[in-house]
Amino acid sequence: MANRPLLLGRPVKIPASPNRAVLDRVPNPQAGTNYVARFSCPEFTSLCPITGQPDFAILVIDYVPAKWLLESKSLKLYLASFRNHGAFHEDCTVAIGKRIAKLLAPKFLRIGGYWYPRGGIPIDVFWQTGRPPAGVWLPDPGVPPYRPRG
């Protein structure tokens, strides 16, 4: 990672797959302070591995950084790489959380995948690394549970 320039500040194409996507990290200038950083992706898309039909979700990623911050352009490209990737909702959500946690080694990380219905059933998937540090304000993800029209 140290031998490769960051994706930030240069043109980059969307990776062909999540495995080919690069996630960048940058030093946390507030490493001695516990705080929550949140990324929201309101238009996440992947493919159903059985039918090939698109699946849509809202992703909310909260983490308490330690030494590293997640660089947002690389995250955007990584998430976009799922557009042509076939995987179940659970696999997408948990794999994203685990990859970010492995890269950053944060004090805490949680991801919520709020998936739109397929076959009439919405599937929400939640994963976290443990408990948040004491005294950290962890706001509600702000995504209401799915409610059908009517």
Contact between 88 and 50 under an 8 Å Cβ cutoff? The reply is no
Helical H segments across the chain, by residue range: 72-80, 89-104
DSSP 8-state symbol, 42:
E
* 133-147 pLDDT, tens digit each: 999 999 999 998 887
Name the domain count of the chain: 1
Is 85 contained in some domain? yes
What token pair was written down for 62? 């909260």
Is 46 part of a structural domain of the chain?
Answer: yes
Is 89 domain-assigned?
yes
Confirm whether 92 is a catalytic residue. Answer: no
Alpha-carbon gap, residue 86 to 131, rounded angstroms: 31
Question: Does some domain include residue 96?
Answer: yes
Residue 90 within a domain: yes
141 in any annotated domain = no
- C-alpha dihedral over 51, 22, 97, 95, to 10 degrees? 40
Which member of 48, 62, 91, 92 is catalytic? 48
Instruction: Dump pLDDT digits (tens) for 96-126.
Output: 999 999 999 999 999 999 999 988 888 999 9
8 A C-beta contact, residue 59 and residue 45: no
Q: Which domain holds residue 119?
A: 37-128
Residue 41: active-site member: no
- Any domain includes 73: yes
In the numeric block, the tokens 């500040």 are attached to 9
Active-site entry in 41, 55, 62, 92:
55
What pLDDT digit, counting tens, does each position of 78-102 carry? 999 999 999 999 999 999 999 999 9
